[in-house]
Structure 1
Amino acid sequence: MAEKPSFEIPPELRDMAEKNVEQARAAYGQFMDFMTQALGAWSQSPARSELGVFKTVQDRAIAFAKENAERSFALASDLAKAKDMPEVLSLQSRYAQTQMQTFGIQAQQLSWLMADALRDLQTPKG
């Protein structure tokens, strides 16, 4: 019986993909830095002072977004280095499983933080 031919991704294509991933990662990093600064300035405005109880939620959500983006860029980098389709499929499958677990944990943590913030907002001051 004849052996199935394997499809190997050319090294040149992998190198080009890796460079593109790094450029996208750098651009995303700059964007997130800008957004963090903008949100910080916005949350410091006097009109927003009553929403200060949500600062922890906002900070954690930003941290989750950065963590998730970094994991996505790591996957893209690994995919760019993959030599064949079975490796690509294995990387994607492992990433999907890990991220589903991570998203569940993150959603739970954000719901706890939101509950705390709402409780603080309803607690009479003074």
Structure 2
Amino acid sequence: MTEPKLEVPAELRDLAEKTVDQAEKAFGMFFDAANKSIASIPAPGTEMAKQALSLTEQNLKAAFEHARKLVHATDLQEAMRIQSDFLKSQFTNAGEHMRQITGGMMTTAKDATKGKF
């Protein structure tokens, strides 16, 4: 039994890809503004805010790349493989992000208590 092809008109694929591009540009502008506003956050929160924003930006970039790949999937098997690969990478990234956040929190806590004891 052959896998059915995803018969999606080229116009619809083009529209989906343009929509992903527009959404990515909009989020890019948001992240630019957010990065500029981080300077107003009092220390020690500045570094944690930068790190959280950076991790969020990485996650969104991965999601946009994932969406682009799905737009070009030609059959259900390929779409499922793309989805599976994405989920695996997101689980791996989530673990790494947690390590980074925990490390950042420990550093911030140590810096905040220096000289107090």
Q: What is the TM-score with the length of structure 2 in the denominator?
A: 0.88
Work out the number of aligned pairs and report it: 115
Extract unaligned runs of 5+ from structure 1. Answer: none
State the 4+ residue runs in structure 1 displaced beyond 4 angstroms: none
SS at match of 1:104: helix
In 1, the alpha carbon distance for the partners of 2:28 and 2:69 equals 19
In 2, the alpha carbon distance for the partners of 1:5 and 1:108 equals 41
Q: Is residue 92 from structure 1 mapped to residue 83 from structure 2 by the alignment? A: yes
Q: What's the offset of the Cα at 1:92?
A: 0.7
Contact 2:16 2:71 in 1 (8 A): yes
Aligned residue number for residue 64 of structure 1: 55
Within the candidate set 107, 113, 117, 1:116 is matched to 107
Contact 1:14 1:82 in 2 (8 A): no
In 2, the alpha carbon distance for the partners of 1:14 and 1:100 equals 28
Q: What's the offset of the Cα at 1:65?
A: 1.1
Task: Provide closer, same or farther for how the CA distance between residues 5 and 119 of structure 1 changes in structure 2, counting only shifts above 3 A.
Answer: closer
Specify the structure having the higher radius of gyration (Cα). 1
Q: What is the TM-score with the length of structure 1 in the denominator?
A: 0.82
Contact 1:60 1:110 in 2 (8 A): yes
- Give the fraction of aligned pairs with identical amino acids, expressed as a percent: 26
In 1, the alpha carbon distance for the partners of 2:114 and 2:7 equals 60
Q: What's the offset of the Cα at 1:7?
A: 3.3
Query: What amino acid maps onto 2:75 in structure 1?
Result: D
* Backbone CA RMSD of aligned residues: 1.6
In 2, the alpha carbon distance for the partners of 1:118 and 1:59 equals 16
Query: What amino acid maps onto 1:20 in structure 2?
Result: T
Extract unaligned runs of 5+ from structure 2. Answer: none
